[in-house]
Structure 1
Amino acid sequence: MEQEIRKDKIPGSRRLSNYFWASTLCLGGLGFLLAGFSSYFNINLLPFTNTKELIFMPQGIVMTFYGSLAICLSAYIGLTIFWDIGGGYNEYNKIENLVKIVRKGFPGKNREILLTYSLNSVKSVGIKISEGLNPKRIIYLCLKDNRKIPLTPVQEPISISNLEEEAANLAKFLELNLENL
């Protein structure tokens, strides 16, 4: 018996690169903040360098500002990791004749994002590949009313062969055509 339900997990903000940037920004921001405070209080708060020689008015205040900004950005990235923004799944259900796209958003009234489409309204599975400074490799669900629903997560571009294989498997499962957009 052929499988009737397919569920693809979509990773959200809980990626290694986000953990790296959150921790790097936090440590760097803390260093800049301590350097700025050292120049203001005229004491050395950083043990590995002499920051008492910094003049507070131009350098110290700028370092304090950049340190505060980096720590705030680190906290924002940390919260997106904690809330797993963008995480969810795509479910293709032949029994119920439905496609469900579920994602997590920011906390609030509409945190859970649920898009539901009938399999009858799906025309094809599409692939869009664009190279350059900002390469994009995306699998779309193409509907009969010409809407294109992206199915792949926002991430570093995967290899073209893996993208084509995933799209071909999905098109085969849904018994749809595969087209290049």
Structure 2
Amino acid sequence: MENEIRQDKIVGSRRPSNYFWSFFLFFGGLGFLLAGISSYFKINLLPFANPTELVFIPQGLVMMFYGTLSLGLSIYIIITVLLDIGSGYNEYNRPENLVKIVRKGFPGKNREILLTYPLPNVRAIGIKITEGLNPTTSLYLCLKDKRNIPLSPVQEPTAISKLEEEAADLAKFLDLKLENL
């Protein structure tokens, strides 16, 4: 029975890149905000620079704006990391003939996102590879009604060979064909 159910874990927003960007944006934004406040009050709040020499309008005001924006963005990223938005799993259940896609969303009545699809409604497993400045590799569940449901998380691009191997393994498990999207 355990070979009849497959569950693939999905990493949400708790990725190393989000930790890096939240740290970088928080301290960078804090520096800009303190520089802007220092230029307004003519009191040096930064130990490594002297922003009191800046003219408040426009330089100090712009630094405060960028600092506030950066702090807001870092707080948003920290909240998504703490709530682990986007994490979950994909479950492929052959005895019940179901595919379940479970993800965590933002707090509220729809915190848990659950999508279920009967296996007879699934046409194929699709692979989409886009190259260029922003390369992406994605795995999709292709339904008979022409919808493509993403199975892979939003992340840094994975190796094409790894994605193809994963897709072939899943298609073999579900007894479906592979498609190039």
TM-score interval for Structure 1 and Structure 2 normalised by the shorter chain:
over 0.9
For 1:130, give the aligned amino acid.
Answer: T
For 1:8, give the aligned amino acid.
Answer: D
TM-score, with length taken from structure 2: 0.96
Give ranges in structure 1 of 5+ residues lacking alignment. Answer: none
Q: Distance in 2 between matches of 1:40 and 1:2?
A: 66
Report the counterpart of residue 24 of structure 1 in structure 2: 24
**SS of corresponding position for 2:24:** helix
Q: Which has the larger displacement, 63-72 or 136-145?
A: 136-145
> CA 1:94–1:59 in structure 2 vs 1: closer, same or farther (change >3 Å)?
same
1:134 offset after TM fit, Å? 2.0
Give ranges in structure 2 of 5+ residues lacking alignment. Answer: none
For 1:162, give the aligned amino acid.
Answer: K
Q: Distance in 2 between matches of 1:75 and 1:6?
A: 36
Consecutive aligned runs of 4 or more in structure 1 exceeding 2 Å deviation: none
Report the counterpart of residue 6 of structure 2 in structure 1: 6
Q: Which has the larger displacement, 2-11 or 158-167?
A: 2-11
Percent identity, please. 72
Post-superposition CA distance 1:108-143 (Å, at most 9, x none)? 111111100111111111111111122221111111
Q: Distance in 2 between matches of 1:136 and 1:58?
A: 40
Following superposition of structure 1 onto structure 2, how do residues 3-152 of structure 1 map, counting pairs within 5 Å? 3-152=3-152
For 2:5, give the aligned amino acid.
Answer: I
1:173 offset after TM fit, Å? 0.6
TM-score, with length taken from structure 1: 0.96
Note the aligned Cα RMSD (angstroms): 1.1
**SS of corresponding position for 1:52:** helix
Q: Distance in 1 between matches of 2:103 and 2:171?
A: 22
Q: When the two structures are aligned, how many residues end up with a matched partner?
A: 181
